[in-house]
Structure 1
Amino acid sequence: MKDVKQVVQTTYTAVLEQGKDCGCSTDCCFEPDLEGYKDLAGYAESADYQLGCGIPVAFDAIQPGMVVLDLGSGAGNDVFIARQQAGPTGEVIGLDFTPAMVEKAEANRQKLGYDNVRFVLGEIESIPLPARSIDVVISNCVLNLVPDKQRAFAEIRRVLKSNGQFVISDVVSAQALPEAVQQDEALYGGCIGGAIPIQDYLALIQASGFDSVEVLEQRAFQITAGGESHTMHSITVKGGNAPCCGPGCC
């Protein structure tokens, strides 16, 4: 497989060009039940390309006045819902490393007239934001696409405030996937090839120094690749830092 990040950028640029295809909720992956999105305040159909594997904004983590960061924000669907939850005194930042997605999200923002939302071009392994600047990090079916997941979770911890938390929906595997699946471009872009075993995923979070990790939702599904069936899981995980009262806390 060629450069992983190039594969991901090509895949999700094609999503915009085609309207919907080859993303995390297409036939190359699975069809998650995301109908609940449309019932959430702030939902914008123009920003919903049905690329998620859960609804991380549905767990009451975001409160009025908070600063929220959406990792892999795409066209802005979760950002706009988070903005409704954070209210006029809050701020929501969407980070994506695909230029076409950032451009689409910004066009949606301008159309909706939101002034406490901004979209930033950048990578999750090197988030271009100050340390301890974010109250809540959300992400939806994106971390599986990141090659260096350990670095990604370390960056999430870095940008979170001392009592900050994250809610992340993602795809993981029941067991390590064969090399052929990991190297398949369509499966990687479809949120399968880059998935790691659930126990490894949770261990990475804990190794990053978070004080609490909780699986809020977990749903198994099957995929067939290389003539073999593989068990995958769509999970939503919540974690965070305990309140800090010592030197250097903010």
Structure 2
Amino acid sequence: MNDTELRQLVRAKYAQSALGMAKGSACCDDSCCDANGCGDGYAADELASLGLDASASLGCGNPTLLADLRPGEVVLDLGSGAGLDVLLSARRVAPDGHAYGVDMTDEMLAVARANQTKSGLGNATFLKGTIESVPLPDASVDVVISNCVINLAADKGAVLREAFRVLRPDGRFAVADMIALEELTPEAKQRLDLWAGCVAGTISLDAYADELRAAGFDAIDIEVTREVRLEEVEGVIASAYIRARRPSRVEIAAR
């Protein structure tokens, strides 16, 4: 399966999820969060203040908890889905900050914009694009977040290099994602349903750290939050919180 085929698969899957959300169905229907507790890590009162609930999440954690967001900062969510993390970020960086979400699925963008209307927040923007090619300038954001999305990319290095590109020096990378604790079989890695379910695309903790390092990040920290032993295939995956930093200009110059 090549990059184009995988992107088409993911787009179709999340378009289906978006249509389900628009009809008011449950979020965790064959999505990344199936094994991880849909909406884990979100306070009900915080969601209610946006006019939303946990059904707006298809993730494996709450990356906004990691990011230490501050008023005035600019945040980017890679693969923003229904917009929950973007809107939470927008509230935390208000009044002068801004939160962007990028997603390649028209149906998800429509749901996200509808959720923004419910929230009443004006300092958020949803952009159409891929996480390998973000439609924002170099060094334009303070924080990059993402929630159970990077594992879906065939070329994770390309995603991490793009995150590094858009971050300002000393910018922060704060992501919830799935990793592999025990390697999956080659057969499992070729299963389309396991790719769409955030299983087949997982890589090991060490491999994830290596990809971050190769992209230029430092201060890398990966914290496993929940292990998932798969019944239908051999292997163990886990949800994880992943933190890293783009070095400052002084640090880069000193290398």
Scaled by the length of structure 1, the TM-score of the pair is 0.89
1:22 aligns with 2:30: yes
1:246, distance to aligned residue in structure 2 (A): 7.9
For 1:123, the equivalent position in structure 2 comes to: 130
**Aligned to 2:199, which of 189, 192, 196?**
192
Instruction: Give the 3 Å change call, closer, same or farther, for CA 87–155 of structure 1 in structure 2.
Output: same
1:237 aligns with 2:245: no
CA gap of 1:46–1:99, structure 2 versus 1, over 3 A, is farther
Compare the two structures and name the one with the higher helix fraction. Answer: 2
Cα displacement (A) at 1:160: 0.2
Partner of 2:96: 89
2:38 touches 2:58 (CA, 8 Å); kept in 1?
Answer: no
Structure 1 residues 13 and 164 mapped into 2: Cα distance closer, same or farther (>3 Å)? same
Q: Which consecutive residues of structure 2, in runs of 5 or more, have no partner in the other structure? A: none
Amino acid of the residue matched to residue 235 of structure 1? Answer: A
> Secondary structure of the equivalent of 1:10?
helix
Give the alignment partner of residue 213 of structure 2, picking from 177, 182, 206: 206
1:6 aligns with 8
Give the structure-2-normalised TM-score.
0.88
Deviation at 1:183, TM superposition (A): 1.8
Do the aligned residues in 2 keep the contact of 1:70 with 1:138 (CA within 8 Å)?
Answer: yes
Q: Post-superposition shift, 1:82?
A: 0.6
- Percent identity of the aligned residues? 33
> Mean alpha-carbon deviation: is it higher for 9-18 or for 70-79?
9-18
Match of 1:157 among 164, 167, 174: 164
Structure 1: runs of 5 or more not aligned: none
Q: After alignment, is 98-107 or 14-23 more displaced?
A: 14-23
Supply the AA of the counterpart residue of 1:10. Answer: A
Aligned residues: 244
Aligned CA RMSD, in angstroms, stands at 2.2
From 28, 37, 44, the counterpart of 1:31: 37
SS state at 1:196 partner: coil
Q: 2:60·2:176 contact (CA, 8 Å) conserved in 1?
A: yes
